């Protein structure tokens, strides 16, 4: 679920950090740039682990900062296909179920990836699994759920689209930069309460 990945980047160190040792100021800038961000094709960066290499600083005309080439390692959350994860149902939709974890909310279980015999009930806005003729098991909002990771999807999102004017992430028709597609088709997946 967590991997240690190596990245190279050119980091700007602002003049206000010139009185701090270069390795520490670069590490601070790396944390600000990468922590809790999605790196395309890699996953969700949790934190910077260590700095492996620092090049000599470069200056650019008209800019008071120093640009330092760096190679560093970071801890990345990247679940693997087949991994079983837990979360809470965020929303039930006719197309499937949105799931949230404490730190990541872009998880979707498509209706095709639900147990055979699942159907969506519009009136309750819930999915119902009928394992037999006499049993109805509901999947409701805020239920604790287990799911199997099927795939991950990275979408190319331009940096200008990431932040609204108030600093919050924009919502609406924009695609999230990273989505986990899950399934509930094997014993032990679905609502945790079903299996207790």
Q: Is the pLDDT of residue 35 over 50?
A: yes
105-134 residue pLDDT tens: 899 999 999 998 888 988 888 888 888 888
Q: Which residues of 36-54 are buried (b: 16+ CB within 10 A; e: fewer)?
A: eebbeebbbbbebeebeeb
Q: Are 139 and 147 in contact (CB under 8 A)?
A: no
Q: In the numeric block, which tokens belong to residue 127?
A: 């999915």
Q: Are 52 and 153 in contact (CB under 8 A)?
A: no
Measured CA to CA, the distance from residue 187 to residue 108 in angstroms comes to 19
CA end-to-end span of the chain, whole Å?
25
Measured CA to CA, the distance from residue 11 to residue 19 in angstroms comes to 17
- The predicted pLDDT at position 58 comes to 83
List, in order of start, the domains of the chain with CATH numbers.
2-77 (3.30.1490.120), 84-195 (2.40.50.140)
Residue 173 binned pLDDT confidence (cut-offs 50, 70, 90): low
Q: Is the pLDDT of residue 172 over 70?
A: no
57-116 residue pLDDT tens: 888 888 888 899 999 999 999 999 999 999 999 999 999 999 999 888 899 999 999 998
Question: By C-alpha distance, which of 118, 76, 120, 70 is closest to 95?
Answer: 120
Q: Is the pLDDT of residue 137 over 50?
A: yes
């Amino acid at each position: 679920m967590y991997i240690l990945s190596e990245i190279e980047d050119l980091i700007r160190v602002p003049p206000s950090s010139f009185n701090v040792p270069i390795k520490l100021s670069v590490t601070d800038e790396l944390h600000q740039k990468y922590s809790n961000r999605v790196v395309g094709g890699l996953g969700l960066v949790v934190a910077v682990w260590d700095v492996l290499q620092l090049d000599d600083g470069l200056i650019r005309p008209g800019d008071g900062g120093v640009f330092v080439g760096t190679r560093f390692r970071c801890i990345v959350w990247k679940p693997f296909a087949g991994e079983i994860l837990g979360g809470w149902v965020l929303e039930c939709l006719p197309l499937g179920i949105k799931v949230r974890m404490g730190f990541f909310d872009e998880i979707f279980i498509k209706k095709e990836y639900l147990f055979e015999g699942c159907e969506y009930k519009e009136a309750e806005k819930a999915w119902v699994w009928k394992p037999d003729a006499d049993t109805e098991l509901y999947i409701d909002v805020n239920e604790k759920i287990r799911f199997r990771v099927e795939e991950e999807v990275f979408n190319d999102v331009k940096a200008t689209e990431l932040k609204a004017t108030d600093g919050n992430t924009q919502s609406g028709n924009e695609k999230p930069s990273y989505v986990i597609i899950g399934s509930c088709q094997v014993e032990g997946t679905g609502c945790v309460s079903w299996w207790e």
